[in-house]
Every structure is written in structure tokens, then in C-alpha cells.
Chains A and B, each alone.
Chain A
Amino acid sequence: MTGIYLYGIVEFPPELSREIRGLGGSPVSLVPRADLAAVVSRSLLNPWPVDEAHLTLHETVVEEVMGDRPILPVRFNTFLRAKESVIALLDERAQAFRSALGRVEGKVEVGLRVLWEAPGKSEVSVDQETWDGNPGTEYLYRRLREERRRAGIRGVGERVIREVQALFHSLAVESWLQRLPTDRLLFTGAYLVERYRVAAFREGVAKAQQEFSYLRFLLTGPWPPYHFVNGAHDATEDTLGA
């Protein structure tokens, strides 16, 4: 069964300025409704494989459109049954879409990931509890020591994150941060940046690398503002009732 594959939401008009091919080679088009439009292509209503080729194609379509105007990117493998469902979505969420489009206009997302070496056991002070040799008591006190050590590492990590973040406050409009998601990742962040300030952000990262020589910085982008459209099109998830 065929239906509609959704790439994003844009302002309307204008029409697309050039021909774009989407997933499965289908032409990408706009489904307009008042001052908004959905960027779509025809597709079988089966999820596309989550691999590099398909993810890249989805991203390429979003970026092609983003070259002309702001876009609210939609997550990979978002489907709607028919054009009527697209129009219903645009009607229902019109105000949220307009507001989100205003939020991201003229801006892009950059991603920053920072690696660190978490402090070793000797660098995080942990009180050595004693136990009386009973297995249950020994187990719980061991867990307590681990908890305290982890809390110590989190404390050190939070302090370093604050210091690094201070360097980027003036370079980004908004930021989203995931703190200490793994032992080696100090944080992974997304920053909403004015297009013309991407170079300045890059210079900021170079400066941070000099200042924090024990950290490793990976800066990627520019991306569509995936982390800054929260709530704008959540309704698309349930459209197929799956």
C-alpha cells in the first residue's frame, strides 16, 4: 500500500525551486495548506531500512529544502496514509508549526561531542567503609562505595561541563545538552546557531581545545534544527496508528 513519506514542514509559498528526488527515487513535492506546506514524496507504507544510504537520502532532501527557507525536519521513517492526513496535520498543528518555524529561521544546528578521561579511583575521595564479613553487608557496602565514587565523578564532570559551556553561551541562541551519557563522553550537545555564526562557533571550539587540552572536541554540522522543533510535529507519530 502506498502513502506519503514526510520530510519536513515549511512556510508556503514559494514552491520548491528545483527537482528533488526522495526515498525510492520518488519526486519530492509540497502539500500546501494556507501559509504552510509539508515536504513529501510518495512511498510504500513500509519503514525504509535504517542504514547510511537511506538516512543520507532523507537528510539530503531536508538540506536541499533548507537551502531556500527554514524547515522543521521530521524524523526518518515518518509516514501518513494520504494527502488528507497531511492537510489535517497542517490544520491541527498550524500554530505550533508557525511558532517553531519562527524559532529556527536563519539558524542551523551544530553538534558538539566532548571526550574526557574520567577521574580514576585515586582522584575521587571515597570513605572506606568497613563491614563485618557478612555477605549481605559486604555487598551493600560495596555498592555504596561504587555509588559514592560515581557521584564524585559526576561532580567533577558537571564542573568541567559548566566551564566548557561558558565558552559557547554567546555563540548560540539555544542549546540542548546530554551530560555524561557514557563514561568517556563528557557531554553531547546541540546548539542552535545563526547561520553566519557557524565559523565563529568553530573558532570557539578551537579555543576550547587549547584551553582544555585534556578534552577532545568533535564539532559537526551544519544540521537541520532537529533538537529545536520539540512538540511541533509530535502528532505525526500516531498518524498510522502504529
Chain B
Amino acid sequence: MQPKTLSAPESSLAEFEGELERLTPALPRRINVDPEKVEQGLAKLVLTLVELLRRLLEKQALRRIEAGSLTPEEIERMGVTFLRLEEQMAALRAHFGLSEEDLNLSLGPLGDLM
């Protein structure tokens, strides 16, 4: 294979490497069948989907705040719900040894979930 670097700033190559590692897709292409890790793999899949829904609902709430269609009481009630949901998600992530970035999801041309 021919060398592939056509042009690069010498000082920044390490920075590029760091960013490219972050681009690695979060979701595994196959569920890990290692008995030690299968639970974590499934938890990652399920929690990623839950996080996607949580973020979508939260965005919807923010749009409604911006549009001025919520009363202060409704904002407080929804905010407390989202706050608790976030705390629950953090606890579940910790339980399964997952970080916030582990639940990121590549949405193809739309970019990443988070």
C-alpha cells in the first residue's frame, strides 16, 4: 500500500488521531457473545435508544418553551421529570460501566445523536 499522507501539519497529527478515534461508531456491528460482556452490550443498545427518546422529548419541550406555549408550572413539572430521568440514566450507565459517550449513536448523514 502506498503512503497515504499527502499533506499534513506536523504539529497537529496527534490531534487528528485523537479526533478520529472519537469518530469510531459507538454501536457494535454485532452483539458481543462473550458471556462476560453480553449484558453490557445489550444494556448499551437499550440505553442508547432510551437516551435517543429522552433527547427527542427534551428538544420538543425546549421548542415549546421557546414558542411560549408552556406555563411556568408546566415548565417546572416537565423540567423535574427530565432532571430525574437524566439522574436515572446516569445511575444505569454507572451500573453497566458505560460512559455518556458510549451511548452516542451515529445517524449517518445527520451526524451523531449527541
Contacts and interface: CB of A to CB of B under 8 A. Distances in A.
B1 A63 contact: yes
A7 interface: no
Contacts of B79: 134-140
B7 to A, nearest CB: 4
B37 interface: no
A121 interface: no
A137 B111 contact: no
A180 B16 CA distance: 14
Contact of B112 (A110, A138, A181, A198): A181
A157 to B, nearest CB: 11
A144 B58 CA distance: 10
Q: Which one of B7, B18, B83 has the highest number of Cβ atoms from chain A below 10 Å of its Cβ?
A: B7
Interface stretch (A11-19, A21-29, A36-44, A217-225): A217-225
B78 A218 contact: no
B10 to A, nearest CB: 10
A113 B2 CA distance: 19
Given A136-B75, A205-B7, A223-B4, A188 B83 contact: no
A136 B6 contact: no
B19 A136 contact: no
3 tightest A-B CB contacts, nearest first: A136-B79, A136-B80, A219-B7
